[in-house]
Amino acid sequence: MVRFGEFKAMQEDLTHLEQLHCAASDRLARLEASDSEVAPQVEILEAASVPQLPWRPLYARDAGISLGAAVALGFLAIWLLPPAGGGSGGPWRSDEVQWPAHLLCSPRSPPVCRRPTRSRVN
């Protein structure tokens, strides 16, 4: 008899759990149905295609751009900056090239920081 009472209690619990399962399944079905109604409509403009070449960086193009920029900046620096040996280079003349000490020195600086003088070129 004790076992029969346990059986009846377990059967009631099983019935209750089956009801909960059915209710959850119904609610899931309603949620899935409402999601499909709310979901945005998608229009395919063009079918997907397989690329002819795999995507990767264009190393040769990038190296060419870098090399060209380096050469251009090198020529610009050689043309604009005065030569270190004192020869003539670009728009500068060696006797006119002096460090801009007048920009770096204040009015109270020692006489070493005087405004540079330019010599005449014949």
Kindly report the pTM of this predicted structure: 0.32
Look at phi and psi of residue 41 and say left if phi exceeds 0, alpha if psi is from -120 to 50, else beta.
Answer: beta
Query: Of how many residues is the chain composed?
Result: 122
| b/e per residue 26-55 (b: at least 16 CB within 10 A) | eeeeeeeeeeeeeeeeeeeeeeeeeeeeee
For range 79-103, the mean pLDDT: 58
Determine contact, residues 85/71, Cβ cutoff 8 Å: no
User: Residue 20 pLDDT more than 60?
Assistant: yes
The pLDDT of residue 50 is 87
User: Residue 15 pLDDT more than 90?
Assistant: yes
Model confidence over 60-70: pLDDT tens digits?
A: 999 999 999 99
